[in-house]
Structure 1
Amino acid sequence: MDIEHIRGLVQADAEAVDQLILARLKSDVALINELGRYIINSGGKRLRPLLVLLAARACGYLGENHIELAAVIEFIHTATLLHDDVVDASDMRRGKQTANAIWGNEAAVLVGDFLYSRSFEMMVSVGSMRVMEILSSTTNTIAEGEVLQLLNCHDPDTTENRYRDVIRYKTAKLFEASAQLGAVLGGQAEPLEQAMARYGMHLGTAFQLIDDALDYGLSNEDIGKNIGDDLAEGKPTLPLIHAMRHGSPDQVRVLRQAIESGGLEHIDTVLDAIESTNAIAYTAQSAQKEADLAMEALDDLPASVYKEALYGLAEFSVNRSY
């Protein structure tokens, strides 16, 4: 099942989410409207809100609150992107200028804060303490992940375990919440709720691992950013960590220097080290293991076309080229 077929299963719901996002972005402050619309319409994959919609339907939910929560998830995700780009001093995302590059860091941070606060305003309207509990814990964990990543930056001694902690906190947690919320809305028992959470966590981990592999494998036109952006920011992702473990002494020396200093002065040597140590293949294999675990977590979910779509999302997460 390809990604367009998957989206087609919940097309009406997804359109309702888009309409709600635009409606809830409205503010009396013109800059919030302008900047918020720019970010929301900048071409993201919208996988996290898609996951909310599919999970809710797969868990038998027939109401409308999944629309509200899918928009909440997208607002939280967008807020983290705004803050990320400021912390990383990024000027490009998805092939377009970042909000902070256009409007400045102050505006980007404050509009990110607006999106966070608006998302909590929206989730309150669902009237579920369990939903509040999951999402408040999620946003706290994401913030911890941001700090963990900051601590890892420019540190060539970052281990694979520390790197995976960042993924689990910073990226996978929102995927986990997205799938878990579907089970909560569907009134599922605790075992299935936790199984859906595991599905989301492994899916998000696989997704991020492939993102980190793509950073060293595709051009700007393919993924909307430049090869080696993570290296330029001094981020020791899994391809670099693996190359550090298995490279020659000369390669390790250059890799350490590249991570410590950031920038792309040694990009050719870094790419050679990544290729000679099969670091991309190792990262892809790690992602596939996570996708397999995600699909295993769905074993007790009743059969439906939406369950098949969740399988399809796991496959897409590791087979994509963008």
Structure 2
Amino acid sequence: MTSPFISAGPMLDPAKFRDPLRTAAGEVRASVAAQALETLWFNTGTLCNLACRTCYIESSPVNDALAYLALADVAAYLDEIAEAGLPTRQIGFTGGEPFMNRELPAMLALSLERGFEVLVLTNAMRPMRRFEAAILALPHRERLTFRVSLDHHIAAIHEAERGPRSWAPAVAGLQWLAAQGFRVAVAGRSLPGETEAAARAGYGALFAQLGIVIDAADPGSLVLFPEMDAGLDVPEITTACWSILGVVPDSLMCASSRMVVWRRGEAGPRVAACTLLPFEPGFDLGATLAEAARPVALNHPHCARFCVLGGASCAT
């Protein structure tokens, strides 16, 4: 079965996104300067209980290209934030499925105890449910948000992407979180041919049916991500695009966020410019947050399609 989220279109020109300074047409490539670090993400590992058809990071039950981070790794970066006096307000956890990492509850507790807002992305299925007691024991839950992945408001479309029998457990996990009083949000995806208004109306009807209070009209409560097919053609972003598109560089997530990853085979964790590009060498900014506080050249199709043209962000 083909994923319903695959879009048709011309393939990417291989001459594009090769030079971090110039586009294929020779124009100056846009870059984004580092501003205040507002959100620090931790990718806890690429292992996942699902193997979605178009997962941008190819997470699966066997893909451990990003090794599990440990609690000590998270603590070291939180210490750097404190020692440098960085204005970081939010810590995010993603994967893979973050709850595949057995140290995640301790990571969440530490981040909450340090005073951060915490956002964890999860499919809310069995890996999360096995930690129910630890989740219920988390401190400062008023600063904690669970963003649950429901790729569509129709079960069959969700399962066409995520696999058979993936809908009911995800919905049950979302309902459990809401019933326990946790702040919940949902992450969906833009289905080709479906308007945003229709998608939000569909999710709104679903939330009402499930008895869950989520404002489907609020982009922070229901995040609809644009497509991320790096193989499809997309314009390169030049310095002239800022005024043409009316986009402010500081609004892009690489201006104010970074992600910590541990690529298997490397000596330790590294800081990537973007949550979407954990493996691209050009987006590896160093081992510390201080090293990572430098400009990012928009030299990847995701930069154009997802961030600049799509206006999307992984944070809240």
Which TM-score applies when normalising by structure 2?
A: 0.28
Q: Which has the higher contact order (CA 8 A, sep 6+)?
A: 2
Which TM-score applies when normalising by structure 1?
A: 0.27
